[in-house]
Chain A
Amino acid sequence: DARVTQTPRHKVTEMGQEVTMRCQPILGHNTVFWYRQTMMQGLELLAYFRNRAPLDDSGMPKDRFSAEMPDATLATLKIQPSEPRDSAVYFCASGPGGSSSTDTQYFGPGTRLTVL
């Protein structure tokens, strides 16, 4: 049963620290998405990649957030420095790309980040 995996599942850190979240997309999927979920804003798209190239990161605070895909099996989301307002659940999703009939986003379990 192919799944998107995310690590860590939970992270508690202090303000000013660097946080790195990792995502392993489903093997063979060429599109990777990062979303953030908060009580106030709900689910928001932060950034996404296709074939490891960034397509859109307009939802991401550029000054402190960065997203990369070092290889096809790993996507990272980094926050430096972290702030309390970054506390949220961060979801990674992957999709196979291709035609509309097959392209669906499959979500990972999320990383719950708490910044004190």
Chain B
Amino acid sequence: AQSVTQPDIHITVSEGASLELRCNYSYGATPYLFWYVQSPGQGLQLLLKYFSGDTLVQGIKGFEAEFKRSQSSFNLRKPSVHWSDAAEYFCAVGSLSGGGADGLTFGKGTHLIIQP
């Protein structure tokens, strides 16, 4: 069975500082990996995804993530955070079957707090 671990429940970062959110996955085959962001009371917005190819993927809002197969990790990074980045961040792993993607398995999320 696939699983996702986000070791950090909360992270506090100063505005303008760099950010790294950790994600480790367990999956038997080639994983399809995602990062989503959720603002309070909102749905989930896709930041970026990895299916294959270049292991460094660029997303929206200046985020990037690196897939490291040897470490079973897919950490999310941003060089300089803004106050508007405060939100809940979810890492997810998925698979494909005939015709498209299957349901996602999500981590428990990391709550990002931005200090002024």
Report which A residues bind B (CB closer than 8 A).
4, 30-31, 33, 35, 42-45, 48, 50-51, 55-56, 59, 91, 93, 95-98, 100-101, 103-110
Residue of A51, A59, A98, A107 touching B44 (CB-CB under 8 A): A107
Contact B45 A107 (CB under 8 A): yes
- Asked whether, in the complex, the Cβ of B105 is within 8 Å of the Cβ of A45, the reply is yes
Select which of B32, B42, B90, B96 is within 8 A of A43 by beta carbon: B90
Contact residue among A43, A96, A108, A110 (Cβ-Cβ distance under 8 Å from B100): A96
A-B contact count (CB 8 A): 69
How far apart are the CA atoms of A98 and B43 in the complex, in Å?
24
Smallest CB separation, A52 vs chain B (Å): 12
Question: What is the interface of chain B mostly: helix, strand, loop, or mixed?
Answer: strand
The residue on A at minimum CB distance from B95 is A100
**B-side contacts of A106, CB under 8 Å:** 46
> How close is B98's CB to chain A, nearest CB, in angstroms?
9
Contact of B101 among A105, A107, A110 (CB under 8 A): A105
